[in-house]
């Protein structure tokens, strides 16, 4: 796991989140707060807000890098986002999404990819999507290599096309049972926690009681052990695009648009910058400079050009 100092942050009595502490939170019924972040400033904000887990999600492909889906993002891009976020964190557990194509080919490939996130980006753990035999094998191999793994079942965006689009999963008894089998298999393979995405609340509640590891919900009701939201959705960075399962807590798009518009207006009307935004020079030094710079206007100087 990360070699970042795992002591309390200066000025705070909060200790760094650990896997045993997460397990204890589930046992005690303490809600777990998880949030996505993708860079240094958002990591710092998550730190100051007291978030328990920060996920550097492959959703960064869409909300930060501007791709049309999560499958496009590369390992190198995810490493860059995770490393930047790591520099803003001390206490939350940092989990990095392993992007599409980084683990499917073989157990060996999965372990090597996971090791890069730990060694190069300082991740405490990685997350894989899906609970089929392939994913279960990859989880077991990564855990055996000493790297904690978070699972992810239900709506898995990397395979959304195969699931018929980004729609809720487990809405029939048979499909809900399939989610149960996947979650149990991931738990048995060694996952320390599982994300349930877009699963009926009643199904998620039943499975949360079934599993001994923490369940983090997103669009899975309020009876999971914790919740996760995408930073840009909850802050209203992209108006009108928040999914049904998200809640918008701010209107950053409106605030940023207003601030930048005001700045542009100030520049065009000469209101910015003002004297308070600049720097002064000693009057004597200014006279010396004016004398020196006058030589630049001489005919000799112009001929030299």
* Positions marked active-site: 197
The DSSP code for 17 is P
Per-residue b/e over 250-278, b at no fewer than 16 CB within 10 Å? eebbeeeeeeeeeeeeeeeeeeeeeeeee
Secondary structure E strands in 25-169: 32-36, 53-56, 93-97, 125-127, 149-154
User: Is the separation of the CB atoms in 138 and 109 below 8 Å?
Assistant: no
> What's the chain's Rg over C-alpha atoms?
25
User: Is the separation of the CB atoms in 16 and 8 below 8 Å?
Assistant: yes
Using the Cα atoms of residue 57, residue 61, residue 62 and residue 68 in order, give the sign of their dihedral.
negative
User: Is the separation of the CB atoms in 70 and 58 below 8 Å?
Assistant: yes
Show Cβ contacts of residue 238 under 8 Å, excluding neighbours closer than 6 positions: 63, 232, 253
Q: Is 107 exposed, middle or buried (0-12, 13-18, 19+ CB in 10 A)?
A: middle
Retrieve residue 293's tokens: 């710079």
d(Cα 134, Cα 17) in Å, to the nearest integer? 30
Query: How do 53-56 and 93-97 pair as beta strands?
Result: parallel
């Amino acid at each position: 796991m990360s070699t970042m100092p795992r002591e309390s942050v200066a000025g705070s009595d909060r200790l760094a989140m650990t896997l045993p502490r997460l397990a204890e939170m589930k046992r005690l019924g303490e809600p777990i707060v998880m949030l996505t972040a993708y860079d240094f400033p958002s990591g710092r904000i998550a730190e100051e807000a007291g978030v328990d887990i920060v996920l550097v999600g492959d959703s960064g492909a869409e909300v930060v890098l501007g791709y049309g889906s999560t499958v496009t993002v590369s390992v190198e891009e995810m490493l860059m986002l995770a490393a930047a976020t790591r520099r803003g964190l001390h206490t939350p557990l940092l989990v990095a999404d392993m992007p599409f194509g980084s683990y499917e080919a073989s157990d060996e490939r999965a372990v090597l990819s996971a090791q890069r996130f730990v060694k190069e980006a300082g991740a405490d753990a990685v997350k894989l999507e899906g609970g089929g035999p392939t994913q279960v094998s990859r989880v077991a191999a990564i855990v055996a290599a000493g790297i904690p793994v978070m699972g992810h079942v239900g709506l898995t965006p990397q395979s959304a096309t195969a699931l018929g689009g980004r729609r809720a999963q487990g809405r029939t008894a048979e499909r809900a049972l399939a989610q149960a089998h996947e979650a149990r298999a991931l738990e048995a393979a060694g996952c320390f926690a599982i994300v349930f995405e877009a699963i009926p609340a009643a199904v998620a509640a039943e499975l949360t009681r079934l599993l001994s590891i923490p369940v983090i919900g997103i669009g899975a009701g309020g009876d999971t052990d914790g919740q996760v939201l995408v930073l840009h959705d909850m802050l209203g960075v992209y108006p009108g695009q928040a999914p049904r399962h998200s809640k918008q807590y701010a209107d950053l798009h409106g605030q940023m648009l207003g601030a930048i518009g005001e700045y542009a207006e100030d520049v065009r009307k000469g209101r910015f910058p003002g004297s308070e935004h600049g720097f002064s020079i000693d009057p004597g030094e200014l006279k010396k400079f004016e004398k020196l710079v006058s030589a630049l206007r001489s005919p000799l100087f112009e001929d030299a050009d």
